[in-house]
Amino acid sequence: MKNSNNKDGKFRDKLKSFFKRCGQDTPPFFKKLRITGLVIAAAGATLLAAPIALPAGIIALGGYLTIGGAVATAMSQAAIVEDADCEDPNK
């Protein structure tokens, strides 16, 4: 039982580190990639929510665009300017 608690602690530390990383400054290239990902995700969501009947291929394309844009946005948000460790130095 102690091993599972230890693993949960490491997971929480890494998750805390990830959220700290998302709060730091993002490089200019990744800012542009984040905006592009948002635009792609919005275009895909527009295709999915269209009030008219669309062919199945276009609906599938809308799903792919939405997922791809969301992943690009999330990954570009995690990039930071410096190659610094996000761990707490007081530990």
Per-residue tens of pLDDT for the chain, all 91 residues: 445 555 666 667 777 877 777 777 888 999 999 999 999 999 999 999 998 999 999 999 999 999 999 999 999 988 887 755 555 555 4
The answer to whether residue 82 is domain-embedded is no
Instruction: Give the chain's domain count.
Output: 1
- Residue 52 falls inside a structural domain: yes
Residue 1 confidence (pLDDT): 42
Q: Is residue 28 part of a domain?
A: yes
Residue 7 covered by a domain: yes
Assess if residue 84 is contained within a domain. Answer: no
Q: Enter the pTM of the model.
A: 0.67
Specify if 86 maps to a domain: no
Q: Is residue 91 part of a domain?
A: no
How far is it, in rounded angstroms, from Cα 12 to Cα 18? 10
Residue 29 CA: distances (Å) to CA of 2, 48, 65, 86: 43, 29, 20, 21
For residue 24, tell me if it sits in a domain: yes
Range of the domain at 40: 2-77
What amino acid is encoded at 19 in this protein? F
